[in-house]
Amino acid sequence: MSAPRVTTAPKVVAVTASSPAALSGLRSGDELLSLNGRSPRDVIEYSLLVDEPELDLVVRRRGLDQPFPVAVRKEPGQPLGIEVSSAVFDRVRTCDNHCEFCFIHQLPKGMRRSLSMKDDDYRLSFLYGNFTTLTRFTEMDLERVLTERLSPLFVSIHATDPDVRAGLLRNRRGATSLRWLSALLAGGIEVHGQVVVCPGRNDADILEDTLAGVLDRYPELATVACVPLGVSNFSHEDAMRPHTVAEAAAVCDLVGRWQATFLQALGRRMVFAADEYYLMAERPFPPAATYEGFPQHENGLGMARAFEAAFGGDEHAALGVRPGFFAAVDGAPAAGYRAPRTGPGTIAAGVATGEGSDIPPIAILTGEYGARVLAPLVESLGRDDVRLVPVRNDFFGGNIGVSGLLTGTDLTTVLSDQPEGHRYLLPDSCLSEGRFLDDLTLADLPRTVEVVPTDGLSLRRALEAAAPSTPARVPVTLGAPR
Q: Give me the CATH number covering residue 366.
A: 3.40.50
Average pLDDT over residues 183-190: 97
Residue range of the domain that includes 220: 103-331
Q: How many structural domains are present in the chain? A: 3
Q: At 40, is the pLDDT very low, low, confident or very high (cuts 50, 70, 90)?
A: very high
Are 321 and 357 in the same domain? no
Question: 244 in a domain, yes or no?
Answer: yes
Average pLDDT over residues 161-176: 95
Which three-class secondary structure state does DSSP give residue 137?
coil
Question: 472 in a domain, yes or no?
Answer: no
Average pLDDT over residues 423-438: 90
What's the whole-number average pLDDT of the chain? Answer: 86
Are 143 and 162 in the same domain? yes
Question: 96 in a domain, yes or no?
Answer: no
Are 319 and 354 in the same domain? no
Q: At 355, is the pLDDT very low, low, confident or very high (cuts 50, 70, 90)?
A: very low
Question: 313 in a domain, yes or no?
Answer: yes
Question: Which has the higher per-residue pLDDT, 317 or 116?
Answer: 317
CB-based contact 372:275 (threshold 8 Å): no
Domain C-terminal end among 271, 296, 331? 331
pLDDT by residue (tens digit) across 98-134? Answer: 888 887 777 777 666 656 667 889 998 998 888 999 9
Question: 69 in a domain, yes or no?
Answer: yes
Are 107 and 151 in the same domain? yes
Residue 13 has pLDDT above 80, yes or no: yes
Are 58 and 116 in the same domain? no
Residues 38, 45: Cα–Cα separation, whole Å: 10
Question: 481 in a domain, yes or no?
Answer: no
Are 287 and 260 in the same domain? yes
Secondary structure element (H or E) that encloses residue 145, with its range: helix 139-148
Average pLDDT over residues 429-440: 88
State pTM to two decimals: 0.86
- DSSP-derived pairing of the beta strands 82-84 and 12-15: antiparallel
Are 149 and 285 in the same domain? yes
Half-sphere exposure of 158 (CA within 13 A, CB side): 29
Question: 254 in a domain, yes or no?
Answer: yes
Residue 61 has pLDDT above 90, yes or no: yes
Half-sphere exposure of 231 (CA within 13 A, CB side): 16
Domain C-terminal end among 31, 53, 84? 84
CATH number at residue 133: 3.20.20
CB-based contact 453:342 (threshold 8 Å): no
Are 285 and 302 in the same domain? yes
Domain C-terminal end among 279, 308, 331? 331
Are 322 and 345 in the same domain? no
Residues 150, 126: Cα–Cα separation, whole Å: 6
Q: Indicate the burial class of 475 (C-beta count within 10 angstroms; 0-12, 13-18, 19 or more).
A: exposed
Residue 2 has pLDDT above 60, yes or no: no
Residue 262 has pLDDT above 70, yes or no: yes
Q: At 235, is the pLDDT very low, low, confident or very high (cuts 50, 70, 90)?
A: confident
Question: 97 in a domain, yes or no?
Answer: no
Q: At 359, is the pLDDT very low, low, confident or very high (cuts 50, 70, 90)?
A: confident
Are 129 and 265 in the same domain? yes
Are 75 and 112 in the same domain? no
Are 209 and 292 in the same domain? yes
Residues 123, 120: Cα–Cα separation, whole Å: 9
Among candidate residues 229, 201, 248, 225, the one with its CA nearest the CA of residue 131: 225
Give the percent of the chain with pLDDT over 70.
Answer: 85
Residue 385 has pLDDT above 80, yes or no: yes
